[in-house]
Structure 1
Amino acid sequence: MGRWEPGASGRLREAALDLYLERGFEQTMVADIAERAGVTARTFFRYFTDKREVLFDASAELEKKSLAALEAAPATASTLDLVATALDATVDIIGHDHELARKRHVVIMANSDLRERELIKLAHMSAALADGLRRRGIGDAEASLAAEAGSAVYRVAFQRWADADDDLDLRDVIRRSFAQLRALTAPN
């Protein structure tokens, strides 16, 4: 078994997702994942702190990228446009591999502890976006409401994208979902 071989992280992620789908999350051990990926369990722990992190290790990168996009957005952008810009930036990380995202989603939805962890991750992201909006001078209530609305749009768009059989583009689905939200709130 190789140590620090190129692509070990990706192989570990793929092996874990395949095993989670085959056996279930609870029934899959780190040693099983490492063996399937052709590395040692010790190598697994160089990349991931535990078997849950295979599913959630991109959270910090998502937050960093979305906040950078929020900060770089034009000063004239509306609050909701700022949130849309921040969420749009996450697509570069999660939207490039539809099949991987679909597998991840299936695994998470099949396990209540993982669903809870996913919701906590989304709540953390929403709080970070609200803080980013406040740093741009947006009031507390407006920042919180816009970030929570953005979180809801993201959840709905991601679910729609993950469940789609065709090659939908996540960025397009998020943008259409924001358009639907705006249509819901527009005066008749």
Structure 2
Amino acid sequence: MGRWEPGARERLERAALELYVERGYEQATVAEIASRAGLTERTFFRHFADKREVLFSGQSELLETCVNTIVGAPESATPLEAVAAALQATSARFEQRRELSRQRQTVIAAHSGLQERELLKLASLASATADALRRRGVAEPTASLTAEAGVAVFKVAFERWIGEPGGQTFSELIRDSLDHLKAATAG
């Protein structure tokens, strides 16, 4: 087995998604995932705590990108502009993974436990975003409201992006969703 070859993590992700789509999340085992990737179970557990985490492993990078972008936004940026910049900063890492993202969502939609984990992920994103806004001096409830609105924009843009093969980029859909939010809240 090519367990020392580069790209083990990505191979495991692809193999897991293939098996989850083919057989269902519950039926796929870690041993089968590792075997399909040409790796060992031990290698799998070096990269992922369990088979669920294959679907959620990018969360820390997503949070880090959002927080760093918000904290580093120009002082003149409004809270929503800082959150918009953070959402745009995350879009590049998704753009190259459109089909994988679509498959991932198909698997999650078919399993209530995974749907719950996805909701927890989004709640963590909202919490980290609100914390980053507070670090910029944004008071409550503005920080929490803006963070929750940002997560809603992210969620709507993401669902549109994976649902429109060959359509607009994720970045374009984030901008469009933000424009719709601004129009909905204009006085």
- Shared fold per TM-score greater than 0.5: yes
Q: Which amino acid aligns with 1:154?
A: F
Partner of 1:42: 42
Structure 2 CA distance, aligned partners of 1:167 and 1:178? 18
Structure 2 CA distance, aligned partners of 1:109 and 1:174? 22
Partner of 1:27: 27
- Alpha-carbon displacement from aligned partner over 1:52-102 (angstroms, at most 9, x marks no partner): 111101100111111111111111111111111111111122232111111
- SS of the equivalent of 1:26 reads coil
In the alignment, structure 1 segments of 5+ residues that lack a partner are none
Partner of 1:125: 125
TM superposition shift of 1:18: 0.5
Q: Which amino acid aligns with 2:9?
A: S
- Alpha-carbon displacement from aligned partner over 1:9-37 (angstroms, at most 9, x marks no partner): 11110000000000000000000101111
Q: Which amino acid aligns with 1:37?
A: A
Structure 2 CA distance, aligned partners of 1:119 and 1:168? 25
In the alignment, structure 2 segments of 5+ residues that lack a partner are none
- SS of the equivalent of 1:140 reads coil
Q: Which amino acid aligns with 1:114?
A: L
Equivalent positions of 1:20-99 (< 5 A) are 20-99=20-99
Partner of 1:181: 181
TM superposition shift of 1:130: 0.3
CA contact (8 A) 2:3 2:38 kept: no
Q: Which amino acid aligns with 1:35?
A: S
Q: Which amino acid aligns with 2:119?
A: L
Q: Which amino acid aligns with 1:100?
A: L
- SS of the equivalent of 1:123 reads helix
Partner of 1:145: 145
- SS of the equivalent of 1:52 reads helix
The TM-score, its normalising length taken from structure 1, stands at: 0.96
TM superposition shift of 1:167: 4.0
The TM-score, its normalising length taken from structure 2, stands at: 0.97
Q: Which amino acid aligns with 2:40?
A: T
